[in-house]
Amino acid sequence: MALSKLSLLNHITKTLTKPCRLQSHAPPPTFLPIRLFSFATPEEAAAERRKRKRRLRIEPPLSAFRQQQQQQPRPSPSPAPQNPNAPKLPEPVSALSGNRLNLHNRILKLIRENDLEEAALLTRHSIYSNCRPTIYTCNSVMAAQLRQSKYSELLSLHRFITQAGVAANVVTYNLLLNVYLDCRKTDLALEQYKQLINDAPFNPSPTTYRILIKGLVDNQQVEKALELKDEMQSKGFKPDPTIYSYLMLGQAKNSNADGVFELYEELKQKLGTDEISDGVIYGNLMKGYFLKGMETEAMELYKKAIGEGSLVKMNAIAGFEQERKVEEALRLFERMKNEHDPPRKLSVNLGSYNIVVDGYCAAKKFGDAIDVFNSMGEKRCSPDTLSYNVLIDHLCNNDKLAEAEELYNGMGDKKVNPDEYTFVTLMDACFKENRPDDAAQYFKTMVESKLRPNLAVYNRLMEGLVKVGKIDEAKSFFDLMIPKLRMNDDAYKFIMNALFENGRHDEVLKIVGGMLREDPNDFTEEVEEFVREGLRKEGREDEVTNLKSEVEREKAEAAAKVAEEAERAKASARAAVASLLPSKLLGKKDDEVKDGEEEESTEDAVTENGVDYETSEGVVISSKEGNGVSEQVTA
């Protein structure tokens, strides 16, 4: 239960914001319609926007020139030519029409079919075609890739479109920031942000700051996040309760209760209201009270929140918070579920389910936990891999392997892909339950589905197999992993030891041979000593030396062969060029060549569509010289 406290608090506040806003149509919330403008008049806003563009060497609008010209009779009649260094403006939405719109829709369809590879490839291929994808299409693909955590594909696509000169828009920047922060690369993210501020021909959106600040808080960089918040406000963005809630959460995580209250006061002051109707804030504020041990204030706060109707679920937080009221908390969870009415109103989500499941597990009520977990679909929440993993982990730790396996088998139906965590948990549990075959099977499935268990997992598998005397199986897994996993001395020694003990010295030698051929560096002195030691008992110590010299010899032969190949290729090339030479050297066949080439040279290069590419230089050269070797078209 201990873990769930804070997270539920956090979670509920998050889920609360939406329903709270959605419900409040009848009486509009107090603070939202008050839109704080950073400019008094449209002229000022326009001037600021244009100033930014000018700084980026983008031309002011046509009419601006006109006006200038009217004022002062024609000082400079021709406007300055477009600066080639000016950043490209992203294409407007109107570019998304005709064929490009068809392409967009086609790619959206691929995304829905979850064929992201094809979507990305088609986008790339379309860049160099008569139907260039818009930045919107590229963004859609990248958003889908982000959604499926395909970060490297996303970055590579981004690099590709940047190289191809597709100008990024604010959505692109937001996606990229998201990626960097998900990958815990805050420095890169901040650099990207700086680039956006300095070079992009548009302003960041409030979402940009939400992404950045949330990412920084998640990466334990609250100080930087606070700086960024101040910067945001200096740029004239209105204070955003969501951003404050992130920051308060960060302060609460750092157990800095004063920081939480400071932020709350600051927000109140900035918005100029006493009450903040945005529920996100309250959860974190309560967290601050709890941190200070001021439970009564916290309870008061949430009672106030109850008054707001949809904020009723604050109860649940308090219930969990005090740990005594688990039952009450669960009742409120029921209530939340009842209020859940997608899509209009989203009061529960995966997070709430996870918390409750976690709570049941902590209370050792595994049946209930599984029931709640499986009922998630009723409220249109779908579990992700991690939710499965955590529950499976709980079950395995409590000797409920059968239930865990049942869950695992259900993952396929829900289109959730198991990862290393899933497999390894199950594998370990199987060894514990004395089912080494099943454990081996899990490992095998894991490797086959392109996952990458590390050496420690592999070692556990080997140990488990060898312990029960399954040497053959262990050897087969060794063979499976040797081309993949980088092993250390101990791993080698372990399998060799097992083989020695079973009197299979030849196989050890085979392994050594393989090591020498593939990864000679792996065959360290320690391993060598170990092998010699093992063979010495059999009196076959020399075989290692023999093997080594044999491999040396093989390698030398191979090297010689390569050199010979190269020499032969060189000779043939020489012959090929020489065979071309006589006609030129001696001018014997000059006439024939000329005739033949003059015919052809009327069309130097023809594309498929019958587009003539008459490079007259090419024609001239070839007809004069009859030179077929290398035609040079100079610009």
Sites for other proteins among residues 9-28 (CB under 8 A): 10-11, 14, 21-22, 24-25, 28
Residue 262 or 438: which CB sits closer to other proteins? 438
30 contacts other proteins (rule: CB under 8 A): no
Question: Based on CB atoms, which residue is closest to other proteins, 402 or 576?
Answer: 576
Least spacing, CB of residue 505 vs other proteins, in Å: 26
User: Would you say 133 and 127 are in contact if contact means Cβ atoms under 8 Å apart?
Assistant: yes
Q: Is 277 in the site for other proteins (CB under 8 A)?
A: no
Binding window for other proteins (CB under 8 A); candidates: 108-116, 280-288, 305-313, 467-475: 108-116
CA 230 to each of CA 109, 199, 227, 243: distance values in angstroms, whole numbers, following the listed order: 41, 21, 5, 11
Between residue 149 and residue 168, which ones bind other proteins under the rule CB under 8 A?
A: 149
Does residue 336 belong to the site contacting other proteins (CB under 8 A)? Answer: no
Question: According to CB under 8 A, which one of 76, 82, 83, 148 is a site residue for other proteins?
Answer: 148
Is there a contact between 276 and 31 (Cβ–Cβ < 8 Å)?
yes
Q: How far apart are CA 123 and CA 141, in angstroms?
A: 8
Q: CA-to-CA distance for 21 and 14, rounded, in angstroms?
A: 12
Cα R_g (the chain), whole angstroms: 35
**For other proteins, which is the closer residue by CB, 83 or 129?**
129
Contact window for other proteins (CB under 8 A) among 191-199, 225-233, 432-440, 624-632: 624-632
- Encoding tokens for residue 520? 């000679």
Within a 13 Å sphere around the CA of 176, how many CA atoms are in the beta-carbon half? 24
User: 483 in helix, strand or coil?
Assistant: coil
Residue closer to other proteins by CB (options 324, 574) is 574
What is the spatial distance between Cα 301 and Cα 286, in angstroms, rounded to a whole number?
A: 7
CA distance 68 to 194: 34
Backbone dihedral region for residue 298 (phi beyond 0: left; psi -120 to 50: alpha; all else: beta): alpha
> Of 8-16, 225-233, 431-439, 491-499, which part binds other proteins (CB under 8 A)?
8-16
The region of 116-124, 255-263, 399-407, 544-552 touching other proteins under the rule CB under 8 A is 116-124
* Token pair 């109103």: residue: 345
Examine residue 108 and tell whether it contacts other proteins (CB under 8 A).
yes
Tell me, residue by residue from 55 to 94, as one string, x for binding to other proteins by CB under 8 A and - for no binding: -----xxxxx-xx---------------------x-xxxx
**Shortest distance (Å) from residue 169 CB to other proteins:** 6
Helix (H) or strand (E) holding 188: helix 186-199
Task: Report 282-321 residues binding other proteins (CB under 8 A).
Answer: none
Query: Binders of other proteins among 438-477, rule CB under 8 A?
Result: 451-457
**DSSP states of 575-616 as a string?**
HHHHHHHHHHHH-TTHHHHHHHHHHHTTSSEE-TT--EE--H
Site residues for other proteins, 158-217, by CB under 8 A, read: 169-171, 174, 182, 202, 205-207, 210
Here the tokens at position 385 are 């891999």
Tokens found for residue 291: 């941190």
Q: Tell me the closest approach of the beta carbon of residue 351 to other proteins, in angstroms.
A: 4
Phi, psi (5° rounding) for residue 612? -80, 135
Q: Cis ω on the peptide bond leading into residue 343 (within 30° of 0)?
A: yes
Cβ–Cβ under 8 Å, residues 247 and 212: no
Binding characters for other proteins, 580-619, by CB under 8 A (x = yes): -x--xx-----------x--xx-xxxxxxx-x-x-x--x-
Query: What's the min distance (Å) between Cβ of 562 and other proteins?
Result: 14
Question: Taking a C-beta distance cutoff of 8 angstroms, is the pair 322, 341 a contact?
Answer: no
| CB distance 370 to 390 below 8 Å | no
Judged by CB under 8 A, does residue 122 bind other proteins?
yes
Q: How far is the CB of 280 from other proteins (least distance, A)?
A: 12
Q: Smallest distance, Å, CB 334 to other proteins?
A: 18
Distance (Å, whole) CA 280 – CA 20: 10
Window 407-426: residues binding other proteins (CB under 8 A): 414-417, 419-421, 423-424
Closest approach, Cβ 467 to other proteins, in A, equals 20
Q: Segment near other proteins (CB under 8 A), from 400-408, 436-444, 537-545, 578-586?
A: 578-586
Pick one of 153, 218, 438, 463: the residue that binds other proteins (CB under 8 A).
Answer: 218
Q: Using CB under 8 A, count the residues that bind other proteins.
A: 153
Q: Which residues, numbered 350-409, are part of the site for other proteins (CB under 8 A)? A: 350-352, 354-355, 382, 384-387, 389-390, 393
Least separation in angstroms between CB 208 and other proteins: 10
Contact 248, 287 (CB under 8 A): yes
Give the C-alpha distances (Å, rounded to integers) separating 294 from 281, 289, 300.
Answer: 17, 5, 10
Measured CA distances, 179 to 154, 172, 203, 272 (Å): 8, 11, 20, 35
**Which amino acid, 526?**
E
Binding to other proteins in span 520-549, by CB under 8 A: none
With CB under 8 A as the contact rule, the residue among 2, 43, 72, 539 that binds other proteins is 43
Region 483-512 residues binding other proteins, contact defined as CB under 8 A: 483-486
In the complex, what is the shortest distance from the CB of residue 485 to other proteins, in angstroms, rounded to a whole number?
Answer: 6
Binding residue (CB under 8 A) for other proteins from 1, 56, 86, 95: 95
